[in-house]
A and B are shown apart, each in its own frame.
Chain A
Amino acid sequence: MKKNTLTTVIVIAALALIAVWMVGRYNTMVTEQENVETAWGQVENQYQRRMDLVNQLVGSVEGMAIHETQYMTDVISARAKATQVTVDPSNMTAEQLKAFQEAQGELSQALGRLLVSVEQYPELKADEHFMKLMTAIEGSENRLSVARNTFNEQAKVYNTYIRKFPNNIIASIFGFEKRPYFEADEAAKTAPKVDFKSLKN
């Protein structure tokens, strides 16, 4: 057992320790990033689910008086716009997310205005199928807000992790980038809030 060997062993062990530590951090980053992407998948799922319901809604009121109103035209054009804006989850920028959120927000508002106007159409309130769609859309909006919150929470965990020292060094070496958040939608706050419960009664 020579002295040189001891030094070599200690140096190699130190390097191995650093490597193991880096691998650990890197893997955690991958996991966190994957969590963000899963959360984003949920967000997209919920938007898709709402889109399907809107399609059903538009189909079910065809031929009824409400179909010819400005509210309906707004929903249809907002729907067309929302389908066009997509976000690539692995390469998400703040601008992309903002455009996505705006397009979807527009649909939310158009939908909200339409549903408020339903008050004026008693034949719709008596329609069981229509009222079921109401329940479904309400559930869909709820799930959307949960999915968006979950996404923001996951993105926050991930962003905090990659920006902490010394993780930021590893993150910059391997190109882990900060993820944008869903902003609290100002327009959505001022839009008329549909009280689904009062509609049902």
Chain B
Amino acid sequence: MSTRKSLLLVALLSFAASAFCNVYEVSTVPDPKVTCADCWVSNPDGIVSTDCVDQINFVAQYLKNNVNVEMAYVVIDAFDEDKYADAFDFAQTLFNTWHIGSAENNAGVLVLFALQSRDIRIHTGGGLEGLLPDMECDMILEDNIGYLSEGDYDKGLYGIATDIASHLVTDEAQAELLLGYKPESTEPIKSRTRYMIIAILAFVLLYVLAYRKWNANKDESRAKLLEDTSTTQTAMGCLSFLFPFPVLFLYLYFRIKRSNLRNVPYPCPKCRTDMKKLSDTDEIVYLSPAEQTEQKLESQIYDVWLCPKCGEVHREIYPGKKMKHYSTCHTCGARALEFISVRTIKQATYTSEGEKELTFKCHHCGKEEVTHRIIPMLVHSSSSSSGGGYGRSSGGSSGGSWGGGSSFGGGAGRKF
């Protein structure tokens, strides 16, 4: 065979070899965590038997459950050698892309097997460098590399898994791994800034709202002003739980301002002098008997302002504390009608409406008022609204995810 022919043959053979071999990038390696929560082996090319995968999964799951270590296996034909300098580069990138190892102890380990380049590498995460130093990883490889060289990949890779596990289940290892470790987080600073910005914005918004409501009806009655601003005050009260600073100050300020409103002197409409508020006993002269009753019942509160200079009188009516207990009497017009009793005239049934009689009594004129009300028809209550239907199926193949570990480049690799 001439040199040219043999060269051609070599080229053809290598082409054929590359055509039948799957070349992976980090992003194209199937992630076992996507398949199921307790899968740890990525074996897309079927290099190891399913029995072996099950056995390694069992060891890995044992490690996860007992010492919180995540052990990943990636068994592939080849990695893209144009993109990754060597097995170390590929393993390091894969490790930090998947984030193998739980966030608490950063204890993850990746075993990478690439058939074409004959690479076997144990890649350790930052939290395992103490328990699995490079030298130990190299020893583990040393002990199992014989099987790999002979082509008994099942035995070699399972042996590596059990050897790794044996380093991690000792009492000291367990103590170290379960102690935990928490990486520093930068989150609080950012969220604090956001919180402060929202708090200040909330403050400004509430202030502007209060300002507008307060000044919108300056010339109308104070009672109406208080009524209009009560929702604003409630809003401030609620938000001051979220933002004690500065909304709580605004809330307190606004509350005091509102409760003081009754006592702010009125300017006399005629001579602009500050009017004086009369005490409860002095103002009786200016109130009708009905109004006096209301004042006594606290259904309405009357403030009477008197100008000391020209004798001008101004009256202001506020809702009383017990306003809701009373309604307006149809005879005398005073808000002094109180509910006394209720009597059922006709019981409601499933087929017809019922009727009841309500009795009210006016505290001012003493007259009784009787009203009739309809009792709604009874309705059959249905005990369970959902008749049939299917329960939500749980279980099945719900995937999991890696814990969030990172590697600083620990581990050891060999050619077999």
Contacts and interface: CB of A to CB of B under 8 A. Distances in A.
Contact of B415 (A6, A24, A27, A197): A197
Contacts, number: 80
Given A9-B207, A17-B200, A197-B414, A136 B134 contact: yes
Interface in A128-161: 132, 135-136, 138-139, 142-143, 145-147, 150
Given A142-B409, A146-B408, A200-B414, A10 B186 contact: no
Interface in B190-210: 190, 192-194, 196-197, 200-201, 203-204, 207-208, 210
Interface in A1-46: 1, 6, 9-10, 13, 16-17, 20-21, 23-24, 27-28, 31, 42
A31 B186 contact: yes
B186 A28 contact: yes
Contact of A1 (B186, B215, B411): B215
> A-side binding surface: helix, strand, loop or mixed?
helix
A108 B30 CA distance: 37
Contacts of B211: 1, 6
B138 interface: yes
A143 B407 CA distance: 9
Which residue, A23, A145, A197, has most C-beta atoms of chain B within 10 A?
Answer: A197
Given A146-B92, A197-B413, A139 B134 contact: yes
A135 B415 contact: no
A181 B135 CA distance: 31
A84 interface: no
A24 B186 CA distance: 11
A interface, size bucket:
20 to 34
A139 B411 contact: yes
Interface in A54-90: none
A20 B189 contact: no
A120 interface: no
Given A1-B211, A136-B135, A147-B408, A198 B415 contact: yes
A13 B246 CA distance: 10
A139 B211 CA distance: 69
B414 A24 contact: no
Contacts of A143: 408-410
Contacts of A142: 88, 92, 409-411
B414 A132 contact: no
B134 A17 contact: no
Nearest to A30: B189
Nearest to B205: A13
Contacts of B214: 1
B130 to A, nearest CB: 13
A146 B409 CA distance: 6
A1 B88 CA distance: 70
A23 B190 CA distance: 10
B414 A20 contact: no
B207 A6 contact: yes
B412 interface: yes
Which residue, B92, B201, B408, has most C-beta atoms of chain A within 10 A?
Answer: B408
Nearest to A134: B138
Nearest to A38: B184
A24 B412 contact: no
B134 A135 contact: yes
A91 interface: no
Interface of A: 1, 6, 9-10, 13, 16-17, 20-21, 23-24, 27-28, 31, 42, 132, 135-136, 138-139, 142-143, 145-147, 150, 197-198, 200-201
10 contacts: A10-B207, A10-B208, A13-B204, A17-B197, A17-B200, A28-B186, A135-B134, A135-B412, A139-B411, A143-B408
Given A6-B207, A13-B203, A150-B408, 12 more contacts: A6-B208, A24-B193, A24-B196, A28-B186, A132-B135, A135-B138, A139-B410, A142-B92, A142-B410, A142-B411, A197-B413, A197-B414
